[in-house]
Amino acid sequence: MLALVTQPGQTDTTRIEDIPSVDVREGEVLVRTLEVGVCGTDREISEGLFGIAPENERLLVLGHEALAVVERDGYGFTRGQLVTATVRRSCGHCIACAENAPDSCLTGDYSERGIARLNGYARELVAEDPEELVVIPTSLGRSGVLAEPSSICERALRHVRAIGGRQPWQLERALVIGAGAIGVLMTFLLRLAEIEVWTASLEPENELVERCGAHYVSTRDTELAELGRFDLVVEAAGNAPLMAQALSLLRRSSIACLLGIDPRKQKIELEGPVLGVDTILENRVLFGSVNAQRQDWLAAVSDLERARDRWPEALEQLVQLRVPLDRFAEAFEHRGGKATLVLSD
């Protein structure tokens, strides 16, 4: 069967390959991939900067943002049901993974579908552990491909609430930096919670952000510091200088959450008193968040449905490019909203 593969650690090795057909073992559910989303992590893997092939293999099948359909009845699933699947799987030997929280794995020995040690969904068929499958309501249809990036936002917000909730605090005003898929989905989730949201990025305008009642700010003509202070700043642009600046945009007792990745080697500047005085005297927190656990996936699916009901077509419009597998290069080059690879109609 056809698959999108890459050789982790090597640049320019991403290609379509005919790989052996799937071997379905007892206890597994056979699913057919409909579509996979492409994100910065896929690009990094493809540039040889990230990713680990399964044990004793040279190639890794990409695809961790999956939308699939169940092929055969069994293990609580019925043929034709839409599903997605969690990305990170237990390391098998830490207390976080033992408590079904591999998103907080303490060893780093976890596997991640399409990223580390486990082949992904960019292939025609996948045999999956039913415990890792998450049902996508038929009403969500192809927008179910947004479940994975939404689960990342849900996990981040769950942690924001836990951190904020350690002391009296109100989440009333939030800034989201970056208007790629994560930035826009985060904006949707915050707006669903009726929070005043400001979303900033380089582009002159963003209709989707404004449609859900958030304020859009182009950083070409407005400085973030002009927007006032926030109870929450989410950095989803992947820009380390902005991550540092986030600390200076916080109100008392507030939180900066980092979701974007910026691997560039660089020195970044921060006004000394922002860290040495304000962060302490105003009880501010800066934290990073990655991955998601099952409860976040379930929250993501439910909130995607709420978002679709509230802002019809916004989710469809967030997926800006859908191309067949053999045009993967176009999806990898796409910036802005989500690009996906379609494997089956």
29-38 vs 133-136, strand pairing mode: unpaired
- Residue 273 Cβ vs ligand BGC, minimum distance, rounded to whole Å: 34
| Size of site (CB under 6 A) for ligand BGC | 11
Closest distance to ligand BGC from the beta carbon of 199 (Å): 20
Which residue number, 9 or 74, has a Cβ lying nearer to ligand BGC? 9
Q: Which is nearer to ligand BGC, 64 or 159 (CB)?
A: 64
3-state secondary structure 209-253: HHHCCCEEEECCCCCHHHHCCEEEEEECCCCHHHHHHHHHHEEEE
Nearer to ligand BGC, 39 or 156 (CB): 39
Q: Which of 88, 123, 155, 251 binds ligand BGC (CB under 6 A)?
A: 88
| Minimum gap (Å) between residue 276 Cβ and ligand BGC | 32
Binding mask 48-77 for ligand BGC (x = CB under 6 A): ----------------x-------------
Give, in order, the Cα–Cα distances in Å from 290 to each of 159, 206, 287, 341.
11, 26, 10, 23
The CA angle 154-157-160, to the nearest 5 degrees, is 155
Q: Which is nearer to ligand BGC, 7 or 84 (CB)?
A: 84
- Provide CB contacts within 8 A for 224, sequence distance 6+: 175, 177, 200, 217, 242, 245, 249
What is the pattern of x (binds ligand BGC, CB under 6 A) and - over residues 279-318?
A: -----------xx---------------------------
300: number of CA atoms within 13 Å, CB side? Answer: 32
- The answer to whether 6 touches 46, Cβ cutoff 8 Å, is yes
Binding mask 101-130 for ligand BGC (x = CB under 6 A): -----------x--x---------------
Site for ligand BGC contains 39 (CB under 6 A): yes
Compare residues 87 and 304 and give the one whose CB is closer to ligand BGC. Answer: 87
Q: Residue number with the shortest CB distance to ligand BGC?
A: 41
Classify residue 276 by burial, with Cβ atoms within 10 Å: 0-12, 13-18, 19+: exposed
Q: Which of 87, 240, 300, 304 binds ligand BGC (CB under 6 A)?
A: 87
Question: With respect to ligand BGC, which residue has the nearer C-beta, 99 or 210?
Answer: 99
Question: Of 117 and 191, which has the nearer Cβ to ligand BGC?
Answer: 117
Listing DSSP states for 57-125 in one string gives -S-EE---EEEEEE-S-BTTB-TT-EEEE-SEE--SSSHHHHTT-GGG-SSS--EEETTBEE--S-BSE
Q: What angle do CA 208, 209, 215 make, to 5 degrees?
A: 145
Backbone angles phi, psi at 102, to 5 degrees: -65, -15
Q: Residues 140-179 vs ligand BGC: string with x where CB under 6 A?
A: --------x---x---------------------------
CB 189 within 8 A of CB 303: yes
Nearest CB to ligand BGC, comparing residues 88 and 284: 88
The binding site for ligand BGC (CB under 6 A) comprises: 39, 41, 64, 87-88, 112, 115, 148, 152, 290-291
